[in-house]
Amino acid sequence: MSLLTDKATTHTDPSSLASGAAVPDVSRGARKTSFDVADFPVPHGREEDWRFTPVDRLSGLFTDHPTDGLGTGSEAASVTVQAPDEVLVSTLAPGDAPRGTALVPADRAAVVASAQTEKALHLTIPAEAELAEPVRLTVTGHGAGRRSNGHCVIEAKHHSKAMVIVTHEGSADHTGNLEVIVGDGADLTVVTLQQWDDDANHLGQHDALVGNSATYKHIAVTLGGAIVRINSNVRYAGSGGDATLLGVYFADAGQHLEHRSFVDHNAPHCTSHVTYKGALQGQSAHTVWVGDVLIRAEAEGIETYEQNRNLVLTDGARADSVPNLEIETGEIIGAGHASSTGRFDDEQLFYLQARGIPERDARRLVVRGFFADVVSKIRVPEVVDAVMEAIEIELSQATE
């Protein structure tokens, strides 16, 4: 086995410094999950999983309330589905399998959203179907501060190949649970785009159960919203599964963008690769990345690597980056992590300007270069284009 660590961290959680990555007191695998709202009190902010999040501004998402305007035809958020003909679109009540097989709520927001969603959207990609076009879900918020609960179950049956793109826009206080079941040998990509207005709040638990020799890719692109927190989690239903979790985020003044991932290596011969990259600019722009990986005793022959890189473009922004790696077996191929938070490098700027490139263009070149490797891993042209365009817009706003 090889253990790789690479640390050039400025804002790292101090507790993670001792041995490279922190090993929490209690195993990550022991954290509570439940369908019962009573099991999760409203967080006060000192809990391990909420300690970076401005919970005081999220009270509207923690109450056990239904979606604002439910059943009136003018709900707080509307969802449109655009899917190729082969895809079955239906709904699932709580307790109707497969709802609840991949996702059990792991925090207060997820549990109330789950309890308050009577009809979860259920998308089924039939066995061996290869979708020529992506399935598109668009979640549109219809008012800042209006409460919205959502739960969506995506089931990719065995040996299917598909992509689902979920776009979030407008404004609401939205909690969206996404439950993903990737069948044996299936290949599923889920893209979640956070293109909210500035006053939207969004919490989401995205849990995937990855089948035998299945391939799962989760791509989070977070640009808009006031507070956004996406938890992308993976477990395996058999051996040989491959999971790739990617994230790109760009935080401006006042934004809190948080990404957490938990890869539970509970099966042998699986792989996981986690790469999140973010840029920050403006007063009190705040980003958080917490990457948990648990390699259980039964997870022999697995390979995992997780990394987070942050590029701080201006003073007053803060990036927290916390990798946690827990290893219960040495019989693995490799496990590593890297985390770094760096300031924009003025020497790079000088070098490019010394070749005639104006400062503004030079800055763009550096920032685009920073994102280049994670963007190249996305491999979905329309998502890549959207990301690059968004980065351009963010940068042009910065220099105006």
Partner 1 sequence: MTTLEIRDLHVSVEIENGTKEILKGVNLTVKSGETHAIMGPNGSGKSTLAYSVAGHPKYTVTSGTVTLDGENVLAMTVDQRARAGLFLAMQYPVEVPGVTVSNFLRTAKTAIDGEAPKLRHWVKDVKVAMSNLRMDAEFAERNVNEGFSGGEKKRHEILQMELLHPKMAILDETDSGLDVDALRVVSEGVNRAKESTDVGVLLITHYTRILRYIKPDFVHVFVDGRVAEEGGRELADRLEEEGYDRFLKVQA
Using CB under 8 A, list all residues that contact partner 1.
Answer: 345-348, 350-359, 361-362, 365-366, 368-373
Q: Give the C-alpha distances (Å, rounded to integers) separating 292 from 192, 245, 272, 283, 323.
A: 20, 12, 12, 28, 6
Task: Give how far the C-alpha of residue 121 lies from the chain's centroid of Cα atoms, to the nearest Å.
Answer: 20
Q: How many helices (H) and strands (E) does the chain have?
A: 5, 17
Task: Please say which residue, 269 or 363, places its beta carbon nearer to partner 1.
Answer: 363
Task: Please say which residue, 331 or 359, places its beta carbon nearer to partner 1.
Answer: 359
Task: Please say which residue, 73 or 356, places its beta carbon nearer to partner 1.
Answer: 356
Task: Please say which residue, 9 or 205, places its beta carbon nearer to partner 1.
Answer: 9
The DSSP 8-state label assigned to residue 52 in this structure reads: T
Q: How far is the CB of 397 from partner 1 (least distance, A)?
A: 21
Question: How far is it, in rounded angstroms, from Cα 360 to Cα 118?
Answer: 50
Asked if 224 contacts 251 with a C-beta cutoff of 8 angstroms, the reply is no
Question: How far is it, in rounded angstroms, from Cα 97 to Cα 245?
Answer: 26
Task: Please say which residue, 30 or 354, places its beta carbon nearer to partner 1.
Answer: 354
Task: Please say which residue, 345 or 385, places its beta carbon nearer to partner 1.
Answer: 345
Question: How far is it, in rounded angstroms, from Cα 33 to Cα 103?
Answer: 9
Q: How far is the CB of 334 from partner 1 (least distance, A)?
A: 21
Task: Please say which residue, 81 or 365, places its beta carbon nearer to partner 1.
Answer: 365
Report helix angle 346-353 to 359-378, nearest 10.
110
Question: How far is it, in rounded angstroms, from Cα 344 to Cα 347?
Answer: 9
Task: Please say which residue, 209 or 313, places its beta carbon nearer to partner 1.
Answer: 313
Task: Please say which residue, 178 or 248, places its beta carbon nearer to partner 1.
Answer: 248
- Name the 3-class secondary structure at 70: coil
Q: How far is the CB of 248 from partner 1 (least distance, A)?
A: 13
Asked if 230 contacts 204 with a C-beta cutoff of 8 angstroms, the reply is yes
Q: How far is the CB of 321 from partner 1 (least distance, A)?
A: 17
Q: How far is the CB of 363 from partner 1 (least distance, A)?
A: 12
Q: Would the CA dihedral through 252, 255, 259, 260 be positive or negative? A: positive
Q: How far is the CB of 183 from partner 1 (least distance, A)?
A: 36
Q: How far is the CB of 341 from partner 1 (least distance, A)?
A: 15
Q: How far is the CB of 31 from partner 1 (least distance, A)?
A: 35
E-strand stretches of the chain: 2-8, 77-82, 88-92, 120-125, 135-156, 161-182, 187-194, 201-210, 215-222, 227-236, 242-251, 256-265, 271-280, 286-295, 303-312, 318-327, 334-343
Q: How far is the CB of 364 from partner 1 (least distance, A)?
A: 10
Q: How far is the CB of 8 from partner 1 (least distance, A)?
A: 12
Residue 65 structure tokens: 């309330």
Task: Please say which residue, 330 or 369, places its beta carbon nearer to partner 1.
Answer: 369
CB contact set of 70 (below 8 Å; sequence gap of 6+):
none
